[in-house]
Amino acid sequence: MSAQPPVPTERGILQFLAICDSFYPPDAVQASIEQQRHWYDALCARFDRPLPPEMIFADGMLQRIPIRRYRPRKISTRTILLYLHGGGFVVGSLESHHAICAEIADFAGAELVSVDYRLAPEYRWPAQTDDVFTVSKHLLSANSKVVLIGDSAGANLAAGLALRARDEGLSGVVGQVLIYPALGGDLAAGSYVEMAAAPGLTTADVAYYREILQAPAGNEIAEPLQAASLAGLPPAFITVAHFDPLRDDGRQYAARLTAEGVEVWFREEPQMVHAWLRARHMSEGARDGFRAVCEAIRRFAAA
C-alpha cells in the first residue's frame, strides 16, 4: 500500500486545491501542450478578480517582446516592478497573472511591467532568460531602479536576472522577490523526496518542466543554486510553501545568500501548497502570505 501524499489542513487551501483539480488534472503534464495551456487558462480565469479602482494597464512591445504596464491610482515611487509569471516555462501569459500584478502594483504604489516571455517547447532555453533580460536592461537604463519579482518558473528567471545584472555590471536592481522559486535543486534529496507527491506540483512535474526547457545542467543562470558565488546580489525576499517539492530550493538559496553577505527575508508558509498566490482571496494563509510579499515589494521599491 502506497503512503498517502502530505496535505495541508487549512480549509481555505483545501477548497482551493479542489477547485484546481476540477480545472487542471493532476496528470496534466501528460497531455498535449495545447491542452495544458487550455486547462491553465481556464484555471486562471476561474480565480480572476476585478482590478483595484482606477488601475490603468496597457499592452505594448519592447524590442518585439510583449509586455503589459500597470499604473495604479497613486504612484509613490519611481522604482519599476518587473513581474515574471510562473507556469513551468510552458504555460502562463500576460492574462494568467493579470489580477495578481495589478494588486501588487496598487499595494506598492509603483508602476509594474509584466513580460510575456517565450515559452517552451517552441522556444528552448535561453530564450526565456534572454527575453526578460532584454526588458530588464531597458527598464534599468530608463528608470535606474527595478525590483525583480517572480513566482515558480518566473522566480527562477528573476534570480537568474539578478545574477546576470551583477555579472554584467548593471546597477539599479534594488531587490528580488522570489515566490516558491525553482532554483535547480537536487531532485533526489530533501523536499523533492519528502513532497514528491504534494498536491498542486509533484517532483515528476518538476522533472518534466526541466526536460522540456532543456537548460544546460549546472548553468548558474538556469540553476541559481549552482552559482559559484552569490556575493554582491541585491537584497532578497524569499517565500516558500511547506507542501511543495520546491520548498528546499528557496530554503537553501536563502541560507546561501545570507552566508555570502546578502540581506534576506525568508518566509515559509506552513499550510501552503505550490501556486498559493491564486488562493489569496479564499485562504487565510495565502492572504497573509500575499500581504507579506506585497510589503516586501513596497519596502524594496521605496529604498
Q: Which residues are catalytic?
A: 152, 244, 274
SS (H, E, C) the chain: CCCCCCCCCCHHHHHHHHHHHHHCCCCHHHCCHHHHHHHHHHHHHHCCCCCCCCCEEEEEEECCEEEEEEECCCCCCCCEEEEECCCCCCCCCCCCCHHHHHHHHHHHCCCEEEECCCCCCCCCCCHHHHHHHHHHHHHHHHHCCEEEEEECHHHHHHHHHHHHHHHCCCCCEEEEEEECCCCCCCCCCCHHHHCCCCCCCCHHHHHHHHHHHCCCCCCCCCCHHHCCCCCCCCCEEEEEEEECCCHHHHHHHHHHHHHCCCCEEEEEEEEEECCHHHHCCCCHHHHHHHHHHHHHHHHHHHC
